[in-house]
Amino acid sequence: MIRFFAATSVFALLAACQMEGYNPDGTAKPRIDREGTCFLYVTAEPSGRFTLTSGVGDGSKTPNAMVKRGLSAKALDALWAKERRIMDVNPECLAIIAEDRSMARPAPEQPAAEK
């Protein structure tokens, strides 16, 4: 009976350690609102073109970012590869989030006044 409770306690402890926002090794997953997280992601525009957004998290909810709009797939892939290589050597990049074209998010709907 004691072994059962000990095993149950171990499993409960392991489940608690695998909370959302953490890797299995206990380190925090990178997020763009964390200082030092370099981010690079793609948005698919309704026109079939792409937008590339990249930057370095500064601890705010919406860090400054470089946004390149209206890119063809070929231009996007070339720029994505260049930016990703820069992240690998940038000393500001303590963590990296890099989502390529295969993980492209749909572009958000623009209000009618902006169209």
Positive or negative: CA dihedral 97, 21, 107, 59: negative
In a domain, 77, yes or no: yes
SS3 (DSSP) at 73: helix
43 and 8 part of one domain: no
| 33-83 pLDDT tens trace | 889 999 999 999 999 999 999 999 998 888 888 899 999 999 999 999 999
Same-domain check for residues 92 and 76: yes
Are both 15 and 66 inside the same structural domain?
no
Give domain status of residue 56, yes or no. yes
Task: List the domain range (segments joined by +) for residue 14.
Answer: 1-26
Q: Are strands 50-56 and 65-71 parallel, antiparallel or unpaired?
A: antiparallel
Model pLDDT for residues 70-111, shown as the tens digit of each residue: 999 999 999 999 999 999 999 999 999 999 999 998 887 766
Domain assignment of residue 113, yes or no: no
Nearest-angstrom CA–CA distance, 9 and 30: 29
pTM for the model: 0.69
